[in-house]
Structure 1
Amino acid sequence: MEFITVIATVLLPPLGVAMKKGLTSDFWINLILTLLFFVPGLIHAVYVNYVSGEARSLA
């Protein structure tokens, strides 16, 4: 399942965020960023799905 989430995050960043976090504020922020420009949405999706989750689990 993690592999599918990675693929979804790269191809459609809002879908990857929704799969990992659900329809939270992170999803809506990512959707707006992706609609404006793809790259900021991709960076935000990677951060939300992989960087912030690891930082929260270490704390």
Structure 2
Amino acid sequence: MSILLIILTIILPPLAVFLQHGLGKDFLINVLLTALGWLPGVIHAFYVNKR
């Protein structure tokens, strides 16, 4: 994971997931989690981008 992607994951989690995986279930889940709270979105983005 590059430094730029890590920074993007912290600031805008859905954008980081979109750039790695495109539009799909991971992106939609991340948008929902980020809407519910910033921290769940960040945790999910790190998890998804690590796989």
Give the TM-score, by structure 1 length: 0.77
**Alignment gaps of 5+ in structure 1:** 54-59
Q: What RMSD in Å do the two structures reach over aligned CA positions?
A: 1.4
Identity of aligned residues (%): 48
Larger RCO (alpha carbons 8 Å, 6+ apart): 2
**Which amino acid is the alignment partner of residue 14 of structure 1?**
P
**Alignment gaps of 5+ in structure 2:** none
> Which segments of structure 1 move beyond 6 Å, counting only runs of 4 or more?
none
Question: CA contact under 8 A between 1:13 and 1:30: conserved in structure 2?
Answer: yes
Give the number of the structure whose alpha-carbon radius of gyration is greater. 1
Question: CA contact under 8 A between 1:30 and 1:41: conserved in structure 2?
Answer: yes
Query: What is the rounded CA distance, in whole Å, between the counterparts of 1:24 and 1:3 in structure 2?
Result: 24
